[in-house]
Amino acid sequence: MKLKRVWAQCVKELSQFRRDRLTVALAFLLPFATLLIFGFAIRLETKNIPLVIQDFDNSAFSRAYIERLYGTNQLDPVRWFRDKLAQDSINQGKASAAVIIPPDFSRRLKEGKTSTIQVLIDGSDVANARVIKNSIRATNTFFLKTEGLLPKQSLITSRTRVWFNPGRQESLYMVPGVLAINLVLYPSILAAIAMVRDKEEGTIVQVYASSTSATELLLGKGLAYLSIALSEAVFLMMAAALIFGTRLAGDPTPLLVGTPLFLATSVMIGLFVGARSNSQSAAIQVVGAANALTTMLLSGFIYPISNIPWPLSLLANLVPVRYYIELTRDSFVRGTGWPGIWFVFPALAALGLVLFWGAWQKLQRMQFSD
Amino acid sequence: MTSIAAHSSIADVAAQDLIIRVRGLRKKYGTLEAVQGIDFEVQQGEVFGIIGPDGAGKTTTFQILSGVMEATGGDIQVLGKAPRDARLGIGYLTQRFSLYLDLSLEENLRYSAGLREVPEDLFLERSRKYLKLMDLDKFPKRLAGQLSGGMKQKLALCCALIAQPKVLLLDEPTTGVDPVSRREFWDVLATLADEGVTMVVATPYLDEAERCDRIALIYGGQLQQIGTPDQLRAGLGLHRLEVRTEAIEDAERALTTPQGTDSSIIDVQTFGDRLDVLVKDIQTGEAQIRLLLDKSPLDGQPGSPVHISRTEPTLENVFVTHLRQQGSDPPFIPFPRIYPRENNQGEMAIYAQDLSKKFGDFQAVKDVDLEIHYGEIYGLLGANGAGKTTTIKMLCGLLERSAGAIILAGQTSNLRSAELRKRMGYMSQKFTLYDDLTILQNLEFYCGVYGVPRHARRAKIDWVLETCGLTGQENMLTGQLPGGWKQRVAFGASVMHEPKILFLDEPTSGVDPLARRQFWRLIEDFAHNGTAVLVTTHYLEEAEHCHQMSFMASGETVAKGSPSQIKAQQPGQLIEVGLAETQVASNLLKTKFDPWRVSIFADYLHVVLDRPDQQISELKSILQAAAIEIRSIRTIPFSLEDAFIGTISRALESQTGGAP
């Protein structure tokens, strides 16, 4: 292997990249836009669920109860008609839940009997339904306690303290994941295009005609796009710090070492796909679809990996971004450092090498195939 | 011991002299055997030409020699090694894929140097040297994509040379390059050959092939002939007679009527204002021609003057005759017409006055006038970037004109109306066909676009397929066709709707000589049937087919007229000098006369002299002073190419204020 040839390849790739202003702009604008969209738009916590209440009791008691329900920021009142069926509000999509308080609500409570209220919940959104159910159940207990209908002293009481992210800032959960997703998606697309463009335009023949080896070609292109990916990473992390207030928690060295390693595997994904396809449109589709599916579903970005059923969960272990999300969450939120996340490094290195080998396999002859 | 050592050193010398050795080269793509056992050898310092029709296996051979593709069989040695292992000693130049258009000249060179591990100091020295040699040293920062076609190929050659390869493999390096740049390119190649670089070059231009030391004629994946140009010409055993007459069409008809086996006439070709007749024997041949022409009335007036001059066959005659013997002459099939012939002969089809186009500050076309009648073939000739394509695009309404007037088929405005477009055909330099559709799908698409009636489509498509020799292969992807075949299909696609006005932008670029003749028969057939044809080409010898033509330089018309008129307009005289050391003599003479006045044709020099009476003796004394022996010296008539180069060079000289 000759470093001079690796370097020549790298310099040429960077010159070509720099020449196209639009590509340069997109390489930074698209990840930035993704960061903003995911950072602001995705909220896993449910708030302001529209709720209809029909109060047929209309007593001080029932009004106090209603006040309690709306007292949390989870439920929002929706106006509804007294003489219309409450379920229609759900059917028409005006509300996600309806509570019907019967006329004997306060009377039965005062008599010490069980009073039944009817709760209708839109079950088409399973997660929301669960939240509403728990919320109403909690309100019931709290209401009974404050009205003195239950003993104030529980025999068991839990003192909860949230470890890491004590303010339960949701952006601290999302943003490290978004960083990881950005840093796999865009560098791999750029690298795939760079790999396949020479083939599509036929200029690859010049590389074949020189005695450049597959390793030199892959390293040259890889190095160029690794440096571009690194600048994307620095740019995005600074943007995240400014906009979402993410700060490093604890030892920064795992992030400093892990980021270049992860970016190298991202670039390798692109080179791997590029080496094995013959047109830019095919390469972009493969990289795009593979990344979209794995990062959303198999990376723990939104849905915990522990929820993925076997044997699909095994597949998750082959997704590099899964490891980097662990790393970024640790670096920005948990801060446990090396002891907690050492396994990320051998995993990323192994995946990167496998991808490199896969690309090299295809290119090793450095000739046209028939 | 000593004798063994001496023996082995002799063997080494012999091995060193042999740069390329090919034995039984074969290449199969699936079931198609593209190359079927080729043997040849190339010696140190030789310029070895490979000629052959499109799809003959030339590009495959180059790809194997350069090590970018594996052969199916055979023993191939380049520089004494397998091609793959010899890659550092090989420079490989392809028709289109040698440059990164989004990189500057300098960046392209640096990349090539880096790939081939050229040290920095040598890189600087060589890039300076070669950029200067190719006349590209003025704008190192310009992007390769902004260079003209000729300059691009010169830059690609620089890139190939930067590692000082011992062998240069050049696969049609001058396709699509104008005649002026082509000559410059070949002069550079000659300089390199003098420095001892071995070259293998393929070209569809047979006048270029004349400049090779040896030539291989490949056809159908097999080597048909090999030898020096003289050997090939002599091997033909025929003589060429140039017949000039007023009534050229009648003369052609008279001479092509079958004459029986004892006839002396072997082949007849129209070249615009003359006929080339190949005969077995000069005397009997000439007598037979005179007899035939006397028997049939020429243009209704018997006895109109006929001039016959005796010359030797060209390489093109060799090529065409051999391939005809192989039975590979593309057939001429009458075009299935569905519209009646209009009686519009002599009416104006295309008219333009003071046509101009500016792109920003750049004046691409300036005050161009054109008058083209129905039934006329009009040639628009010029160097790369002279404004020909821009002119055509304005004429067919694809580009808005900055100034001037256009009348197209009697219409002055609305040149993009559907009615008018149905009467027009346009074949552009590139982008005519969809590579990812099959041939049939492409043709069906164009039938639909141009509104060919449904009942006539089958016949038209069959005609295109038969004419192109692609019957039975219509479901092949267009992208897999060799370049020359793609051009034929593209031509077919642009004429299926029987256009009355036909624009052809470099239709024959990269097409082999036989197929080019077929192209021109078709074009002439359309003209006979009343179509006005505007055509651009870089093959000046085929431009002789045009009835009228104009030369363009830097967006302006610099000469106009019929081919004979243009040649007659040439000031000065063309002198042919026969000598052995053409390259030395050419380099020497170029220092004494304007460089464009001197060009090499095989083992002759062509020199344009304005005052031949005095200058011939001056020329002789210059050569004698350098001890170069003159074999022969004579005045010859201007070819259209000589006229073109003279006119364009003079025009550019006066535009740049008479710079050297």
Question: What is the ipTM metric for this complex?
Answer: 0.78
Give the Cα separation of B478 and B589 in Å (integer): 48
Instruction: Name which of B97, B107, B115 is nearest A201 (Cβ-Cβ).
Output: B97
Instruction: Name which of B98, B100, B114 is nearest A5 (Cβ-Cβ).
Output: B114
Residues in chain B: 660
Cross-chain residue pair A8–B87, CB shorter than 8 Å: no
Instruction: Output the pLDDT for position B12.
Output: 47
What type of residue sits at position B519?
A: F
Residue B594 at interface with chain A, using a CB cutoff of 8 Å: no
Task: Choose among B95, B71, B61, B80: nearest CA to B20.
Answer: B80
What type of residue sits at position B413?
A: S
Specify the DSSP class assigned to residue B545: T
Cross-chain residue pair B94–A202, CB shorter than 8 Å: yes
Distances (CA, A) of B654 to B315, B549, B589: 36, 22, 22
Handedness of CA B478, B482, B483, B488 (dihedral sign): negative
Handedness of CA B57, B178, B549, B146 (dihedral sign): positive
Instruction: Name which of A5, A11, A204 is nearest B117 (Cβ-Cβ).
Output: A5
pLDDT at B507 over 70: yes
Distances (CA, A) of A355 to A133, A352, B190, B529, B598: 47, 5, 48, 63, 59
Instruction: Output the pLDDT for position B261.
Output: 67
Give the Cα separation of B614 and B593 in Å (integer): 13
Task: Choose among A71, A94, A72: nearest CA to A81.
Answer: A94
* Residue B383 near residue B371 (C-beta atoms within 8 A): no
Task: Choose among A230, A209, A227, A231: nearest CA to A219.
Answer: A227
Three-state DSSP class for residue B594: coil
**B657 burial type by CB count under 10 A (0-12 exposed, 13-18 middle, 19+ buried):** exposed
pLDDT at B91 over 70: yes
Q: Mutate which of B100, B112, B159, B435 to disrupt the A interface (most A C-beta within 10 Å)? A: B100
Give the Cα separation of B355 and B387 in Å (integer): 11
pLDDT at B172 over 70: yes
| pLDDT tens per residue, range A8-21 | 999 999 999 999 89
Cα angle vertex B220, ends B218, B223, to 5°? 35
The DSSP H or E segment spanning B515 is helix B513-528
Instruction: Output the pLDDT for position B16.
Output: 55
What type of residue sits at position A346?
A: P
Cross-chain residue pair A210–B88, CB shorter than 8 Å: yes
pLDDT at B346 over 90: no
Q: How many C-beta atoms lie closer than 10 Å to residue B440's C-beta?
A: 17
Scanning B246-367, the segments in alpha helix (DSSP H) are: 248-256, 282-295, 315-325
Tokens 């001037």 locate to B404
Chain A residue closest to B33 (CA)?
A: A370
Beta-carbon contacts of A307 under 8 Å, excluding residues fewer than 6 positions away, are none
Give the Cα separation of B200 and A104 in Å (integer): 104
Give the Cα separation of B594 and B326 in Å (integer): 44
Three-state DSSP class for residue A210: coil
All residues of chain B having their beta carbon less than 8 Å from the beta carbon of residue A210 are 87-88, 112, 115-116
Digits of tens for pLDDT over chain A (370 positions)?
788 899 999 999 999 999 989 989 999 999 999 999 988 877 666 778 888 998 888 888 889 888 888 887 788 888 888 788 888 888 888 888 899 999 998 888 888 888 888 999 988 888 788 888 888 888 888 888 887 777 777 778 788 777 777 766 777 888 999 999 999 999 999 999 999 999 888 888 888 988 889 999 999 999 999 999 999 999 999 999 999 988 888 899 999 999 999 999 999 999 999 999 989 999 999 999 999 888 888 888 888 888 888 888 888 899 999 999 999 999 998 888 899 899 999 999 999 999 999 999 999 888 887 6
The DSSP H or E segment spanning B552 is strand B548-553
Residue contacts between A and B (CB atoms, under 8 Å)? 86
* Residue B117 near residue A2 (C-beta atoms within 8 A): yes
Handedness of CA B164, B165, B166, B168 (dihedral sign): negative
Distance from CA of B119 to the nearest CA of A (A): 9
Contacts 24+ apart (CB under 8 A), A21-29: A23/A190, A27/A186, A27/A190, A27/A228, A27/A232, A28/A232, A28/A235
With a CB-CB cutoff of 8 Å, which residues 131-170 of chain B face chain A? 143, 159
Distance from CA of A228 to the nearest CA of B (A): 18
pLDDT at B395 over 70: yes
Beta-carbon contacts of B182 under 8 Å, excluding residues fewer than 6 positions away, are B150, B174, B205, B208, B538
pLDDT at B314 over 70: yes
Q: How many C-beta atoms lie closer than 10 Å to residue B338's C-beta?
A: 12
Task: Name the CA dihedral angle for A347, A351, A357, A359, rounded to a multiple of 10 degrees.
Answer: -160
Chain B residue closest to A15 (CA)?
A: B103
Instruction: Output the pLDDT for position B5.
Output: 41
pLDDT at B13 over 50: no
A299 HSE (CA, 13 A, CB side): 29
Give the Cα separation of A161 and B220 in Å (integer): 84
| pLDDT tens per residue, range B216-242 | 999 888 998 999 988 998 888 888 888
Residue B110 at interface with chain A, using a CB cutoff of 8 Å: yes
All residues of chain A having their beta carbon less than 8 Å from the beta carbon of residue B98 are 203, 205-206
Residue B257 in tokens: 């009527």
The CATH code of the domain at A49-146 is 3.40.1710.10
Cross-chain residue pair A20–B102, CB shorter than 8 Å: yes
Where are the domains positioned within chain A? 3-42+168-364, 49-146
Instruction: Output the pLDDT for position B136.
Output: 86
Residue B116 at interface with chain A, using a CB cutoff of 8 Å: yes
* Among the ranges given (B441-450, B507-516, B532-541), the one the predictor scored with the smallest mean pLDDT: B507-516
* Residue B521 near residue B542 (C-beta atoms within 8 A): no
Say what the pTM is: 0.82
Distances (CA, A) of A73 to A63, A98, A137, B326: 18, 16, 15, 90
* Residue A54 near residue A98 (C-beta atoms within 8 A): yes
Q: What does residue A153 show for φ and ψ, rounded to 5 degrees?
A: -90, 120
Handedness of CA B562, B564, B570, B574 (dihedral sign): positive
| pLDDT tens per residue, range B57-71 | 898 999 999 999 999
* Among the ranges given (B450-464, B489-503, B579-593), the one the predictor scored with the smallest mean pLDDT: B579-593
Give the Cα separation of B249 and B460 in Å (integer): 27
Chain A residue closest to B120 (CA)?
A: A4
All residues of chain A having their beta carbon less than 8 Å from the beta carbon of residue B113 are 8
* Residue A177 near residue A301 (C-beta atoms within 8 A): yes
Specify the DSSP class assigned to residue B595: G
Give the Cα separation of B618 and B621 in Å (integer): 5
* Residue B197 near residue B166 (C-beta atoms within 8 A): yes
Residues of chain A that touch chain B, judged by Cβ-Cβ distance less than 8 Å: 2, 4-5, 7-9, 11-12, 15-16, 19-20, 201-212, 365-368, 370
